[in-house]
Amino acid sequence: MTRSLLLAGLLATLLPLAAHAGTVTAKTTDGGTVALDVAGSGARGVVFVAEPGSGADGWRGVRDRFAGHGAHAVIVAPRAAGADGSLEGATADVRAAVAWLADHGATTIHVVGTGTGGNVALHAAAAEPRVTSVVWSAPRLSAPGLKLTTDLDAYGKRPVLLLTSQEDGTGARAAAAIESHLAGPHKTETLARGATGVAIFEQAPAVDGVVLAWVDTEAPALQRPGAAVGTSGLDTLQTTGHKYGE
């Protein structure tokens, strides 16, 4: 692990816990409602997106730490794919969380997803201009019904932070392919440990500091510009629901 990651991790461990937390409901664009686990307050909003169909439990410790640092932190556990395999319902849930934060004073909103949750987070962000940046842990190129390159093009020049580990070969390959297609500021943090998904935040505490620094400094100031959209070979790796390489 790099020296910067270690220092960031030490800072993260000193953060106080959130003073309060609770559950609210938000309306979705498809006429439903979604439960949101919220903590903290303020102008810096962070949406933690669980894997579709999974619960919010694994994110609560992360939410509380970020809220303790002054973020208005929200967990959304989006619904599972529909009978037709579509993740549009899950996307509507994420967009509802973004809208809720915007309605409650957030002026910057960062969406954090893991695995397929990251695909859904990006898909929602592509359609939601109020999203400031996307943070994607253990990125994947495949998600049912979502075309990654289309979402990256629609997302435009907004910042992206990718988190992976040396033992997550699929995530590392996906991160490299995604990076080559990004038009805006971006960065990949590769950890030595083998955690994936939300476990990265618990098994490698330094990640808290990395993401907090990203949120606190409004990512563009930290990162380098990416390649122009459409210049990579990512078009040959469209998301079809198959595993990487199939």
The model's pLDDT over 174-209, given as tens digits with 9 standing for 90+, comes to 999 999 999 999 999 887 666 677 888 877 778 888
**Per-residue model confidence (pLDDT) at position 12:** 44
Q: How does pLDDT run across 108-146, given as a tens digit for each residue? A: 999 999 999 999 999 999 999 999 999 999 999 988 889
**Per-residue model confidence (pLDDT) at position 202:** 79
pTM attached to this predicted model: 0.81
Between residues 243 and 129, the one the model is more confident about: 129
What the block records as the tokens of 83 is: 């009978």
Q: What share of the chain in percent tops pLDDT 90?
A: 53
Give me the domain span that covers residue 216.
Answer: 3-80+89-223
Residue 69 lies in a domain: yes
Between residues 35 and 84, the one the model is more confident about: 35
Structural domain total, the chain: 1
Q: Which of 14-18, 63-67, 94-98, 114-118 has the lowest mean pLDDT?
A: 14-18
Residue 243 lies in a domain: no
Residue 233 lies in a domain: no
Q: Judging by beta carbons within 10 Å of its beta carbon (0-12, 13-18, 19+), is residue 218 exposed, middle or buried?
A: middle
**Per-residue model confidence (pLDDT) at position 193:** 66
Average pLDDT, the chain: 81
CB 130 within 8 A of CB 98: yes
**Per-residue model confidence (pLDDT) at position 21:** 67
**Per-residue model confidence (pLDDT) at position 218:** 53
Please name the residues in contact with 4: beta carbons below 8 A apart, sequence gap of 6 or more.
none
| Phi, psi values for residue 211, rounded to 5° | -70, -40
Residue 244 lies in a domain: no
In the predicted model, is pLDDT for residue 173 greater than 80? yes
| Average pLDDT over every residue of 148-176 | 92
Domain of residue 174, CATH code = 3.40.50.1820
Residue 241 lies in a domain: no
Any idea which residue has 């199939």 for tokens? 246
What the block records as the tokens of 185 is: 């500021």
Q: Judging by beta carbons within 10 Å of its beta carbon (0-12, 13-18, 19+), is residue 235 exposed, middle or buried?
A: exposed
Residue 239 lies in a domain: no
Q: Which of the listed ranges 79-83, 101-105, 229-233 does the model predict with the highest average pLDDT? A: 101-105
What the block records as the tokens of 63 is: 């939410």
